[in-house]
Amino acid sequence: MTNPVPPPQKPPAPSQNNGWSFHLVSLFGIPVQIHITFLVLIIWIALQGSPSKTEPALFRLLFVLSVFTCVLLHELGHSLVAKRHGIQTRSITLTPIGGVALLETMPRPREELFIALAGPLVNVAIAILIYVGGLIAHLPMKFPITEAPNSLPTFMTYLFVINVILALFNLLPVFPMDGGRVFRSVLAHFMSDVQATVIAVRVGQFLAALLGVYAFLTGQWMLMVLAVFVYMAGGQESNAFQTKELASGHTAREAMMREFHTLNTGDSLRKAADMLLAGSQHDFPVMSGNSVAGILTRSALMRGYAQEGGEAYVAEFMNRDYLVVPPDMALEEAIVQVQGVTNDPILVMEQGAGGEPVLMGLLTQENLLEFLKLRQLQDIRSNRPERY
Ligand SMILES: [Zn+2]
């Protein structure tokens, strides 16, 4: 017998281009994009200084381009090592605050060590090249830096320092920066991936908080913004990772709501309101005969009530675009399908004996959170003996 599972309805694929980035070039098959704010920065730098003295402006421009070439090489370092581990890079985007290499899949924390190290090591290599190149060409670096990068020696000195800073800054053990990933990778050899992530994130957030206090006391606002950004990014990464881990190995069937009520297209909003009040269900599948016609969510019900009162039909306010997944779909995958797409419940449907889709359950945000919470409690109790 063939697999009786209907294919899942695909949500719109996440856009590769967020609309603010432009394709620049493809390197090693990886599209390199440039964020519009970076172009603005270049134009701004070019416009600095008086027209009679174009040379400093030209050096500044050249300097910014050189720095971003170094950032690009840093990201390529991550991408090429990831490729050796069988992970493709979807894109590299350059922004004024740095670069981002978007990998197709996240490597396991333990495999991540070399991918995370590759970026900063590229900057170390560039710094060494500049230093050795300067010695060979008898262009010694000038320390301390007192003038702008308007001559070749000062230019190279600046570039050397920038690369050392890029390497050191990215190696700070602050998740999700490279150093935080290296730290997690090392921790993951001694504990579970989730525990390693939690500890790496906490240490990173503690350091980010210290940095934030320091920035506040010294009035360095850019640094403060960065500290807040790193703090929040760490928390988000940690949550996303925990969700993924807790869901892995489970199916949509296990987490779905199995006992639920349905409405018919001819039912009134008043009936829907009664059902909403009578139970704890917020969203109702709306049936037309034996097939699903849509979902009436709580917010749609409220909106309908406000606009037309209780006598209006549910069919008028139900959402006809709903996501369907088969019961045996990996829960991880089902979560990825909804994330950022909809807050409505997903319908879990299976093909019946006659080939018609049969509604098996609802995957709501609430149910999903409860399921993951229970998994977490179970994990804490059993302390994940399967890992070590
Ligand atoms: Zn990096």
Q: Cα(373) to centroid of ligand 1, in Å?
A: 32
Q: Give residue 145's pLDDT.
A: 67
Q: What percent of the chain has pLDDT over 90?
A: 18
Q: Give residue 287's pLDDT.
A: 92
Q: Cα(46) to centroid of ligand 1, in Å?
A: 28
Q: Cα(75) to centroid of ligand 1, in Å?
A: 6
How far is residue 198's CA from residue 163's CA, in Å, rounded to a whole number? 30
Q: Cα(228) to centroid of ligand 1, in Å?
A: 19
Q: Does the pLDDT of residue 11 top 60, yes or no?
A: no
Q: Cα(236) to centroid of ligand 1, in Å?
A: 18
Which stretch of DSSP H or E encloses residue 170?
helix 152-170
Q: Provide the pLDDT confidence category of residue 143 given band limits of 50, 70 and 90.
A: low
* Domain ranges across the chain: 19-171, 173-247, 252-382
Q: Cα(150) to centroid of ligand 1, in Å?
A: 29
The answer for residues whose C-beta is within 8 angstroms of residue 63's C-beta and 6 or more apart is 149, 155, 158, 159
Q: Cα(269) to centroid of ligand 1, in Å?
A: 53
Q: Give residue 138's pLDDT.
A: 79
Q: Does the pLDDT of residue 263 top 60, yes or no?
A: yes
Q: Give residue 384's pLDDT.
A: 45
| 215-260 confidence digits (pLDDT tens) | 899 988 878 888 888 888 777 777 777 777 788 888 888 888 888 9
Q: Cα(163) to centroid of ligand 1, in Å?
A: 12
| 68-110 confidence digits (pLDDT tens) | 888 889 999 998 998 888 888 888 888 766 777 877 777 777 7
Q: Give residue 385's pLDDT.
A: 41
This prediction has a pTM of 0.62
Which residue matches tokens 């390497």?
167
**Beta bridge mates, 112:** none
Q: Is 81 left (phi over 0), alpha (psi -120 to 50) or beta?
A: alpha
Q: Cα(44) to centroid of ligand 1, in Å?
A: 26
Q: Cα(170) to centroid of ligand 1, in Å?
A: 6
Q: Cα(120) to centroid of ligand 1, in Å?
A: 6
27-36, 50-59, 357-366: segment of lowest average pLDDT: 50-59
Q: Provide the pLDDT confidence category of residue 36 given band limits of 50, 70 and 90.
A: confident
> Helices in the chain by DSSP H: which ranges?
36-47, 54-84, 112-136, 152-170, 178-187, 193-218, 221-247, 252-255, 269-278, 298-308, 314-317, 331-338, 365-382
Q: Cα(78) to centroid of ligand 1, in Å?
A: 7
Q: Cα(217) to centroid of ligand 1, in Å?
A: 28
72-81, 202-211, 236-245, 283-292: segment of lowest average pLDDT: 236-245
Highest mean pLDDT among 13-17, 108-112, 335-339: 108-112
Q: Is 383 helix (H, G, I), strand (E, B) or coil?
A: coil
Q: Does the pLDDT of residue 43 top 90, yes or no?
A: no
Q: Cα(76) to centroid of ligand 1, in Å?
A: 9
Q: Give residue 213's pLDDT.
A: 93
136-140, 185-189, 320-324: segment of lowest average pLDDT: 136-140
Burial (CB < 10 A; 0-12, 13-18, 19+), residue 137, is exposed
Q: Which CATH number fits domain 252-382: 3.10.20.30, 3.10.580.10, 3.40.50.2300, 3.40.50.720?
A: 3.10.580.10
Residue type, 2: T
